[in-house]
Amino acid sequence: MESQKVDMFIMANAKYFESHQLNAIRERLLTLDDSKWAMISTVQLKDPSTSLIVSIFAGYLGVDRFIIGDTGLGIGKLLTCGGLGIWTIVDWFMIQGATRDKNMQKIQNYLY
């Protein structure tokens, strides 16, 4: 792929990934052919900031985990009212990293 396209993709989507993952994504994108660009550019990634806001207001119901695709954890939080509040507070600190990890898993499906 052209380096300009790759750099634009990285700049536009850097907030969706951990900073240490960006180089690996960039190198892998450079090796792909242009036919996969349409798929890569339309991947729907979750915003970590939105996940944090949802976690603060509805985390005790597991909504934050449902949004990022962790249905098992979402059901667990829903049934236990966020682990009696403890799990909810822990998720306030961990949900952004979990969202970025899910985004990385999603993009890896298209890169490999």
Tokens 């934050």 locate to 64
Number of domains in the chain: 1
Give per-residue pLDDT as tens, 10-25. 999 999 999 999 999 9
- The pLDDT value given to residue 112: 79
Residue 4 CB contacts under 8 Å (≥ 6 apart), including other chains? none
Q: Across the chain, what does the average pLDDT equal?
A: 93
pTM over 0.85: yes
Task: Dump the DSSP string for 11-28.
Answer: HHHGGGS-GGGHHHHHHH
Give per-residue pLDDT as tens, 70-105. 999 999 999 999 989 999 999 999 999 999 999 999
Tell me, rounded to whole angstroms, the distance of Cα 46 from its chain centroid.
Answer: 5
Instruction: Give me the mean pLDDT over the 32-61 stretch.
Output: 92
